[in-house]
Chains A and B, each alone.
Chain A
């Protein structure tokens, strides 16, 4: 007798909600020990609305179909020497930044969602987080596979996993995820699921994937498309958690607001890297960082926060400051990498005349006044045979770990300095946003692993910067780092293209 086929609804119910059970002889609270310490009050888990109605068997089916297509394209890309079709060898540095800065964070997202996918009392939330955990694992794998082809032809791709928790600028995304993963389960989900995936993710993925499309990088475009339907699910999960927490108890509102403030700030600091990628690293530009911010945060995010106002949620703190910083951060960040080009795992360069004119047009109020002079100085020094690399190490912000490169928006040529003293120790910050985050949880952030201080403590090899870079970071000095001009990447490219 043929087994009766289950209706979709029954199957869904059996494979998600029905996986839970009543605790008859164990204390339910002991089974979910992290559920209360953050102060979040959940009165009824059954009110959780599953953001994506997907069962595990359907999930495997969809994902395996996507994988088949994706890997067929990777194969075609490799067989057709797709690396020769990118716009310019400078472009490849944008994906070195992606592989080293972002792909390892997909893995941290996988670990974080796997953890919270065990910790919630509500089965609907657990299942959703477990699926996101698998997605994130898939993303790191597909990204590594997509970029492994470039590793055969370009420098700087070979040691991404080793570099993740060592290299000075990679400590920025790494510590961002460490902060989220060491928080409680609700803060993690507001941090990564809502603030990052829902509010800010378009500012990460759209620029990289469109950048890839504009610059002939089919491999990256394809993994981007393949991840898109996953990202759409992640965004619905991020929004569901916010609505669920806010509807469960009014006492949750101020806690959620504080997390939104914190993670919006941390996220925008992290996205400085994307800003410089868009404005400086893409040979064929998609749009400016400022334009991207206006479309994806000011318009889309503005509508979202209007929608959340009925719960008593307001725009993230310091959003009006970011509105001004969007004119500055990409220039300040790329200048930091240019001047630390000896310590970066990818190549840096001075923008061309044409690119500077594009920047003037896109940033009419700031580029010519504040940033063109920096590039003219760099050009002058380069022409004199003194390509400028900063000698000493920079002061870092204790919270975001970025060099203290941001300036006062009321005085854009003055570095913004903030500090506070906690238990007799002084701590420095790039902004009020980062200082507030420290003051809320100093016992967490006194442990900040600041790469510059770690070097001075002798924990990163040495004694010289060269040894730190070569032996501790495992950068292939003279190949991975320094200016694109005269690099092995550039020489090989010219050979392939038959130009002098």
Chain B
């Protein structure tokens, strides 16, 4: 039963449909083992944005305060898209490489262990 409701066949209004975001979609981005940021970030971005723009402009805005951000070697960074391993194509639109509404991107930089090597 999808809900235990008094009204028969009750269905809820999906509050976060992509149509409600005025042309944007939500993309979440989290840097594994870097807890200076308490949680992954949520970004409203056009689905046609390229991965390069997302990474270098949008994500940079959020992650740039971290002392290790400038040291990231993107060639050796690994990614997960919704839990599956993923190789981003820098100049392809997000939506054309499967990064759709409310997708979660996680990236790993195993050589950078966070502030004081403590995962911060």
> A-side interface residues toward B, CB under 8 Å?
33-34, 37-39, 183-184, 187, 332, 335-336, 339-340, 369-370, 373-374, 376-377, 381, 386, 388, 390-396, 403-405, 407, 412-415, 417, 419, 423, 425-428, 441-450, 452-453, 456-458
The one of A386, A427, A446 that contacts B12, using a Cβ cutoff of 8 Å: A446
Give Cα distance in the complex from A457 to B20, angstroms: 6
Give Cα distance in the complex from A393 to B24, angstroms: 15
Contact yes or no, A444 B3, CB < 8 A = yes
B16 close to chain A: CB less than 8 A: yes
Instruction: Please give me the 4 A-B residue pairs with the lowest Cβ-Cβ distance, nearest first.
Output: A413-B119, A392-B62, A443-B3, A373-B118
- Encode B4-19 as 1/0 by CB contact (under 8 A) with A: 1110001111111100
Contact yes or no, B17 A394, CB < 8 A = no
Contact yes or no, B15 A405, CB < 8 A = no
- Collect the chain A residues with CB atoms within 8 Å of residue B32's CB: 414-415
CB within 8 Å of A: which B21-77 residues: 21-22, 24, 26, 28, 30, 32-33, 35-44, 61-62, 65
- Collect the chain A residues with CB atoms within 8 Å of residue B11's CB: 443
Contact yes or no, A448 B4, CB < 8 A = no
Contact yes or no, B40 A443, CB < 8 A = no
- Collect the chain A residues with CB atoms within 8 Å of residue B36's CB: 339, 374, 377, 388
A393-B41, A450-B16, A456-B21 known; A442-B61 Cβ under 8 A: no
Interface of A is mostly: mixed
Give Cα distance in the complex from A101 to B115, angstroms: 33
The one of B2, B40, B41, B44 that contacts A441, using a Cβ cutoff of 8 Å: B2
Give Cα distance in the complex from A222 to B83, angstroms: 51
A–B Cβ pairs within 8 angstroms, 6 of them: A37-B4, A392-B41, A426-B103, A444-B3, A447-B14, A448-B16
In this complex, what residue of A is CB-closest to B20? A457
- Collect the chain B residues with CB atoms within 8 Å of residue A456's CB: 21, 24, 26, 42, 44
- Collect the chain B residues with CB atoms within 8 Å of residue A376's CB: 115-116
Give Cα distance in the complex from A458 to B22, angstroms: 9
A373-B118, A425-B14 known; A442-B3 Cβ under 8 A: yes
- Collect the chain B residues with CB atoms within 8 Å of residue A388's CB: 36, 65
Closest Cβ–Cβ distance, residue A468 to chain B (whole Å): 13
- Encode B90-120 as 1/0 by CB contact (under 8 A) with A: 0000000000011110100000001110111
In this complex, what residue of A is CB-closest to B34? A413
Give Cα distance in the complex from A34 to B42, angstroms: 39
Interface size of B by CB at 8 A reads 49
- Collect the chain B residues with CB atoms within 8 Å of residue A396's CB: 39, 42
Given contacts A335-B35, A395-B28, A417-B106, 17 further A-B contacts (CB under 8 A): A39-B4, A184-B4, A339-B38, A374-B118, A374-B120, A392-B41, A394-B38, A395-B41, A403-B39, A413-B114, A414-B33, A441-B4, A442-B2, A444-B3, A453-B16, A457-B22, A458-B22
Contact yes or no, B39 A452, CB < 8 A = no
A413-B114, A456-B26 known; A404-B39 Cβ under 8 A: yes
In this complex, what residue of B is CB-closest to A339? B38
- Collect the chain A residues with CB atoms within 8 Å of residue B3's CB: 441-444
B78 close to chain A: CB less than 8 A: no
- Collect the chain B residues with CB atoms within 8 Å of residue A34's CB: 6
Give Cα distance in the complex from A396 to B104, angstroms: 12
The one of B26, B37, B120 that contacts A453, using a Cβ cutoff of 8 Å: B26
Give Cα distance in the complex from A445 to B6, angstroms: 16
B89 close to chain A: CB less than 8 A: no
- Collect the chain A residues with CB atoms within 8 Å of residue B22's CB: 457-458
Give Cα distance in the complex from A415 to B35, angstroms: 8
Contact yes or no, A428 B104, CB < 8 A = yes
Of A369, A396, A404, A443, most buried by chain B (CB within 10 Å of CB) is A443
Contact yes or no, A413 B33, CB < 8 A = yes
Give Cα distance in the complex from A417 to B119, angstroms: 17
B85 close to chain A: CB less than 8 A: no
- Collect the chain B residues with CB atoms within 8 Å of residue A390's CB: 37-38, 62, 65
Closest Cβ–Cβ distance, residue B117 to chain A (whole Å): 8
Contact yes or no, B14 A370, CB < 8 A = no
Contact yes or no, A393 B42, CB < 8 A = yes
- Collect the chain A residues with CB atoms within 8 Å of residue B103's CB: 426
Give Cα distance in the complex from A149 to B24, angstroms: 46
In this complex, what residue of B is CB-closest to A441? B3
A395-B104, A419-B83, A456-B44 known; A373-B116 Cβ under 8 A: yes
Closest Cβ–Cβ distance, residue B56 to chain A (whole Å): 15
Give Cα distance in the complex from A394 to B13, angstroms: 23
Give Cα distance in the complex from A376 to B35, angstroms: 13
Contact yes or no, A405 B38, CB < 8 A = yes
The one of A394, A413, A414, A446 that contacts B42, using a Cβ cutoff of 8 Å: A394
